[in-house]
Amino acid sequence: MRKARIIVGANYGDEGKGTVVARYTKESEGDVLCVLTNGGAQRGHSIMTDSGSITYQHFGSGTYYGADSYYSSYFILNPLQFVKEYDSLLVKPKNIYRDPRCRWTTPYDMMANHIQEEILKRHASCCMGIWNTIKRFRKSTFAVSFDTFMRYDLPRKELYLKKVKTYYEGELDLGGWKDVWNSPGIVSHFLEDCYIMNDLTTCIRLSKMKHDNLIFEGGQGLLLGDCGINDPSRTPSVTGIQYACNLLEYFPDISISAHYVTRPYLTRHGDGYLDEEIGRKIISEGIQEDRCNHYNPGQGEFRYGKLDVMKLSERIKEDNQGRISDLYLEVTHCDEMDRLAEFKKEFDKVNTYDSPYI
């Protein structure tokens, strides 16, 4: 029987979802399709390989081990990041697919994101233009999928991008960004990347895919779930299993399991609430400085907090709502802090599923 695994971050992101996806890809029998379920290229899923550390943003974390990538209808495409990352990949996916309904980000969405964060003087965004893209697409003028945009002739493509540029100029103080914003090469460079992305991807509905293994790779974590507004503590995306469950409605004969990923402690980037924040060495002497998450201008410092196992269990149950009985808790970074006995003891109190939770 075909197998679908849904990989979900159980906290604030950075739990080790990429590591879990890579492991299941490597161990799977048959071909694997990594479905980028939600969010966009603001994700950063890192894996460790014989070639060193690799961080994926616009490709599935199973790419190194031969998985194909698929961009679901909930994923936001970013042609600039796609081309940049594709060119840098040590192992490129043999096949890349996208849903015909995908939204997509322009350079103006990204720059507007940067400008707004600078004005607010906060570190709460990767500055990939995700929230800006979502808000823009809510206006009928811009509600054009990437597939539709690529069918436009060149003058119509340029007119669309000019309208996006003008849209932001009506609400932003460009300040020191004026020269970059008005650079004559932005549109031509971006369109070149659009053509490359269009050529390298196949537009097809997920229901048509025939892979033996589907791995739904979620972005962010349950504690960052969508609250509907531009909140520095949250993300404009459903971070649990809902999107994957929606997509799997078209696969009646498939075995489904849900995998919630956590470290033995909490982490998060930048501004925003962090439950029980504390220094990493106070949590445990074994916790090392993270090799894949460092300070960056958009997200600020990488922060640490204590993890309440009972709260973790409660939010997993709230997200799952009994929809998937084959349920797993994937604990990463166990070499830094051994809490498996505690996890098992706490989850035994609340585990009502006939499945290996840990």
Contact call for residues 15 and 262 (beta carbons, < 8 A)? yes
Taking the domain 2-99+204-264+307-350, which CATH number applies?
Answer: 3.40.440.10
Please name the residues in contact with 68: beta carbons below 8 A apart, sequence gap of 6 or more.
Answer: 31, 32, 33, 34, 60, 93, 94, 95, 96, 97, 211
Please name the residues in contact with 15: beta carbons below 8 A apart, sequence gap of 6 or more.
Answer: 9, 221, 261, 262, 263, 267, 332
Paired strand residues for 257: 5
Q: So what's the pLDDT on residue 230?
A: 58
Give the C-alpha separation, 3 to 212, whole Å.
6
Q: So what's the pLDDT on residue 211?
A: 97
3-state secondary structure the chain: CEEEEEEEECCCCCCCHHHHHHHHHHHCCCCEEEEECCCCCCCCEEEEECCEEEEECCCCCCHHHCCEEEECCCCEECHHHHHHHHHHCCCCCCCEEECCCCEECCHHHHHHHHHHHHHHCCCCCCCCCHHHHHHHHCCCCCCCCHHHHHHCCHHHHHHHHHHHHHHHHCCCCCHHHHHHHCCCHHHHHHHHHHHHHHHHCEECCHHHCCCCEEEEECCCCHHHCCCCCCCCCCCCCCCCCHHHHHHHCCCCCEEEEEEEEECCCEEEECCCCCCCECCHHHHCCCCCCCCCCCCECCCECEEEECCCHHHHHHHHHHHHCCCCCCEEEEECCCCCCCCHHHHHHHHHHHCCCCCCCC
Domain with CATH 3.40.440.10 in the chain: 2-99+204-264+307-350
Contact call for residues 20 and 7 (beta carbons, < 8 A)? yes
Query: Which residue, 341, 317, 312, is CA-closest to 327?
Result: 317
Pairing of strands 254-262, 2-9: parallel
Give the C-alpha separation, 202 to 348, whole Å.
45
Instruction: Report residues of the chain scoring pLDDT below 70.
Output: 123-125, 226-235, 293-300, 348-358
Q: So what's the pLDDT on residue 228?
A: 58
Q: So what's the pLDDT on residue 94?
A: 94
